[in-house]
Structure 1
Amino acid sequence: MTLADRARRVIPGGVNSGQRSIPGFTDLVITRTSGARFWDQHGREFTDYHAAFGPALLGHNDPDVAAATAAAGTSLALPGVAVTDAEVALAERLTELVPSLEKVLLTSTGSEATFHALRVARAATGRRLVVKFQGCYHGWHDSVSLNVISAPDRLGAHDPTSTGILPEVLDATLVLRFNDTAAVRQVFADHGDDIAAVILEPIPHNVGALLPTDDFLRTLREECTRAGSVLVFDEVITGFRHALGGYQSICGITPDLTTLGKAIANGAPVGALGGRADLMDLFSTRPGGPAFFAGTYNGHPQVVAAALATLRKLSDEPVHEHTFRLGERARTELAALYRSLDVPTVVTGYGSVFVTYFMDGPAPRSYDDLLANDAARFIGVRRNLTEHGIFELPLNLKRSHISYAHTDADIDRLVEATEAAVRKTLADGVPADLAHTSTMGGAQR
């Protein structure tokens, strides 16, 4: 019996998260990670551009982060009461770096952070409605677990990612097109007095990379301010991967609340929620605060140590300079490759993130545009890349990531392998199990 078979006997589906079981790779078992690579149970080596949905900005097993985590484990276990000096230091550092953060609370996941952001927004405003955008993912909780990667016939209606969600919960969430300023103005004209919060990924990376327009982000800020609604930037992906101050420091729009995770600690299980002091003081961590907030593992000494070490390295070393340069190389050279092969594509992304859509036209601005993507070819090319030791997650619309551990030689090999993978895909056609693929893939970050 293989390791994968043993896993399926005792773990539903053989994996502990909904998108770790990849069609065509159901026997993949990871045994080691290091830098920009991982190895499977057969000893095969892969250059990793998936990077666990993106947190490993420094690369897997970064030695400085690992050393800090190990040191914390020898001196302090989870006390479960009061606060540790490292928690104070991390909160201080986060409020220094991210423009919107006046006060901050730590969570264990990004989903918890977005959950609490919406809870406190409703507590502050006394309102019911939340606005989200098609293609954005904000975690597994019921009020936002809808309309991420949707089939064409599900656009314009609620499209929950799971059964078991109460209809009245879904009814309290309004879903709009990303980058649609007219729709934003209209929803506030119709419902502004009952909108507690607007939540968005400033770049919806869960469907690759939809870059926001300046007018769209300004409109969100203006309408939320006018209506007294809470603007929430979900920077679980964009925060720290794109800048030490998050994408808000790049676009110049300051939200009321910000959620963080992933690259905050290079893959250690920590998230954060921060923002305006008057909102954050509504949590029950302050005596008398009406919005309940708890978590046994919040601020765990080892994950806090990992976060402090990660932020220190991001501040002291040219991590963003390196990853942005390689990201630009990847996007530029992949686009040139596809032109030379006469394969219609849009190669886009931001900073260290890149994605190739198999479609004609300009860079997409909303999820509607992505319906033109050839999902079967998108997945087929990525499957064929694995034969050359390159791993980009073979699910539709998923982005790829470059880390500080990647090198120019890795980008050279990526482009070479992509050419071979594309030629094989063109020659062999679409695999049988992808023949009827349109929009497929899931919501996980």
Structure 2
Amino acid sequence: MTLAERARRVIPGGVNSGQRSIPGLTDLVIARTAGSRFWDSDGREFTDYHAAFGPPLLGHNDPDVAAATAEAAGRLGLTGVAVTEGEVLLAEQLTELIPSVDKVLLTSTGSEATFHALRVARAATGRRLVVKFQGCYHGWHDSVSLNVISAPDRIGRQDPTSAGILPEVLDATLVLRFNDHAAVRQVFAEHGADIAAVIVEPVPHNVGTLLPTGEFLRALREECTAAGSVLVFDEVITGFRHALGGYQAISGITPDLTTLGKAIANGAPIGALGGRADLMDLFSTRPGGPAFFAGTYNGHPLPVAAALATVRKLREEPVHEHVFRLGERVRTGLAALYRRLDVPAVVTGYGSVFVTYFMPGPEPRSYDDLLANDTALFVGYRRHLAGLGVFELPLNLKRSHLSYAHNDADVDRLLEATEVAVTRTLAEGGPRDLAHTSTMGGAGTTTGTH
């Protein structure tokens, strides 16, 4: 019996997160990771562009991060009381780097960070409603676990990602179209007095890459300020990968609260919530704070050490310069490839992130634009890539990532393998659209990356 078969006997579905079981790759068992690569239990080597949905910006098992973690492991264990020097140092650096962050609290995951952001927003405002956007993912908790990767007939109405969510919880979340500034202003005109928070991925990377317009982000800031609502930027993906100050430092729009995740520690299990001091002081970590905040693993010494080493390397070495250059090479090379093959495609992304939508231009601005994507070609060529030793997650709309460990030879190989994979997929013929329900979410399907 294989390891994968043994896993399916004792783990539901054989995996511990909803998007790790990949059709056509159900026997994949990871044995080792290093730099830009991973190896499976059969000894096959893959150049990894999935990269755990993006956190290891430095590459797998970065030696400096590993050394810092090992040093902390030999010196500190979990005590669950007071604070460690590492927690203080990390908090100081986050408040220095990220424009919106006056004070910060550590969590174990990005989902916990977004959960607490909405809780404290409701505590601060005494209001009920939360606004989110179609295509944005903010974690597994009930308030935001809806309308991520939705089938066409579910757009414009509630589309929970899971069974078991109370209808009254869903009713307290309003879902709008991303980049639709007019809809933002309208919802505030109608419900502003009851909107506690607006939460948004400033770049919705859970559906690939939708770049925001300046007008849209300004509308969020202006309407939240006018109504006294809390603006939350979910930078679990964009934080550190796009800039040390997050996408807010790039856009010039400063939210009230910011959530961060695994990328601040190169993939170690950590998250963070930071923002305005008056909001952060409402948490029960300050005696008398009305918004309860706790977690046994919050500030665990090992992920904190990994985060400190990651921040240090990002500040001292040309990490962003390297991955941005490679990202531009990939996007330019892929666009030229699809023109040569006469395949309708929009190649987009930002910095170290890239994705190809198989559809005519222009570049998409909202989730409904992505319904034109050729799902069968998108998933099919990535399955062929895996057979060529190049791994991009073969699920619809999922982005790919470069790390500091990738190099120009990796990019050359990616472009060569992509041409072979796309050509093979096209040669297979058949319908060029898979049922959306198989790859695009719906009740009971996990669709995000926190």
TM range (shorter): over 0.9
Paired residue type of 1:95: T
1:367 matched residue in structure 2:
367
Q: How many residues align?
A: 444
Distance 2:88 2:141 in 1: 28
| 1:431, distance to aligned residue in structure 2 (A) | 8.8
Q: Deviations over 1:31-82 (max 9, x none)?
A: 0000000001110000000000000100000000000000000001011000
Matched, 1:158 2:162: no
1:84 matched residue in structure 2:
84
| 1:387, distance to aligned residue in structure 2 (A) | 1.5
- Counterpart of 1:444 (choices 433, 445, 448) is 448
| 1:8, distance to aligned residue in structure 2 (A) | 0.6
Distance 2:361 2:202 in 1: 22
Contact map agreement 2:147 2:160 (CA 8 A) in 1: yes
SS at 2:31's partner residue?
Answer: strand
SS at 2:272's partner residue?
Answer: strand
Paired residue type of 1:305: A
TM alignment of 1:171-250, pairs within 5 A: 171-250=171-250
Distance 1:311 1:430 in 2: 48
Matched, 1:399 2:427: no
SS at 1:414's partner residue?
Answer: helix
Distance 2:164 2:240 in 1: 34
1:280 matched residue in structure 2:
280
Quick one: structure 1 residues 430 and 309, their matched pair in 2 at CA, closer, same or farther if it must change by over 3 Å?
Answer: farther
1:42 matched residue in structure 2:
42
| 1:395, distance to aligned residue in structure 2 (A) | 0.1
Matched, 1:426 2:426: yes
Distance 1:170 1:349 in 2: 31
1:383 matched residue in structure 2:
383
Contact map agreement 2:375 2:434 (CA 8 A) in 1: no
Q: Deviations over 1:149-177 (max 9, x none)?
A: 00000010000000000000000000000
Contact map agreement 1:380 1:431 (CA 8 A) in 2: no
| 1:388, distance to aligned residue in structure 2 (A) | 1.1
1:23 matched residue in structure 2:
23
Q: Deviations over 1:248-298 (max 9, x none)?
A: 000000000000012100000000000000000000000000000000000
Q: Deviations over 1:126-163 (max 9, x none)?
A: 00000000000000000000000000000100000000
Distance 2:351 2:435 in 1: 33
2:347 matched residue in structure 1:
347
Contact map agreement 1:371 1:439 (CA 8 A) in 2: no
1:327 matched residue in structure 2:
327
| 1:220, distance to aligned residue in structure 2 (A) | 0.4
Matched, 1:144 2:148: no
Contact map agreement 1:359 1:372 (CA 8 A) in 2: yes
Contact map agreement 1:374 1:438 (CA 8 A) in 2: no
Superposition RMSD in Å: 1.1
Gaps of 5+ in 2: 442-446
| 1:435, distance to aligned residue in structure 2 (A) | 4.6
Distance 2:270 2:108 in 1: 4
| 1:439, distance to aligned residue in structure 2 (A) | 7.3
TM-score, structure 2 as length reference:
0.97
| 1:417, distance to aligned residue in structure 2 (A) | 0.3
Quick one: structure 1 residues 165 and 287, their matched pair in 2 at CA, closer, same or farther if it must change by over 3 Å?
Answer: same
Contact map agreement 1:149 1:439 (CA 8 A) in 2: no
Distance 2:10 2:139 in 1: 25
Matched, 1:126 2:164: no
SS at 1:47's partner residue?
Answer: strand
TM-score, structure 1 as length reference:
0.99
SS at 1:247's partner residue?
Answer: helix
2:260 matched residue in structure 1:
260
SS at 1:75's partner residue?
Answer: coil
| 1:436, distance to aligned residue in structure 2 (A) | 3.7
Matched, 1:413 2:417: no
Distance 2:362 2:262 in 1: 30
Paired residue type of 1:29: V
SS at 2:246's partner residue?
Answer: coil
SS at 1:150's partner residue?
Answer: coil
Divergent runs of 4+, >2 A: 429-432, 434-439
| 1:438, distance to aligned residue in structure 2 (A) | 6.9
SS at 2:143's partner residue?
Answer: coil
Quick one: structure 1 residues 437 and 184, their matched pair in 2 at CA, closer, same or farther if it must change by over 3 Å?
Answer: closer
| 1:429, distance to aligned residue in structure 2 (A) | 2.3
Contact map agreement 1:396 1:439 (CA 8 A) in 2: no
Contact map agreement 2:151 2:436 (CA 8 A) in 1: no
Distance 1:92 1:68 in 2: 18
| 1:117, distance to aligned residue in structure 2 (A) | 0.0
Quick one: structure 1 residues 26 and 207, their matched pair in 2 at CA, closer, same or farther if it must change by over 3 Å?
Answer: same
Contact map agreement 2:150 2:440 (CA 8 A) in 1: no
Paired residue type of 1:243: A
Which 10-residue stretch deviates more, 420-429 or 193-202? 420-429
Q: Deviations over 1:314-372 (max 9, x none)?
A: 00000000000000000000000000000000000000000000000111000010000
| 1:83, distance to aligned residue in structure 2 (A) | 0.3
2:95 matched residue in structure 1:
95
Q: Deviations over 1:379-424 (max 9, x none)?
A: 0010011111100000000000000000000000000000000110
| 1:437, distance to aligned residue in structure 2 (A) | 4.8
SS at 1:356's partner residue?
Answer: strand
Contact map agreement 1:56 1:403 (CA 8 A) in 2: yes
Identity of aligned residues (%): 82
Distance 1:260 1:326 in 2: 24
Paired residue type of 2:448: Q
SS at 1:42's partner residue?
Answer: coil
Paired residue type of 1:15: V
Gaps of 5+ in 1: none
1:337 matched residue in structure 2:
337
Contact map agreement 2:151 2:440 (CA 8 A) in 1: no
Contact map agreement 1:376 1:437 (CA 8 A) in 2: no
Contact map agreement 1:132 1:144 (CA 8 A) in 2: yes
| 1:196, distance to aligned residue in structure 2 (A) | 0.1
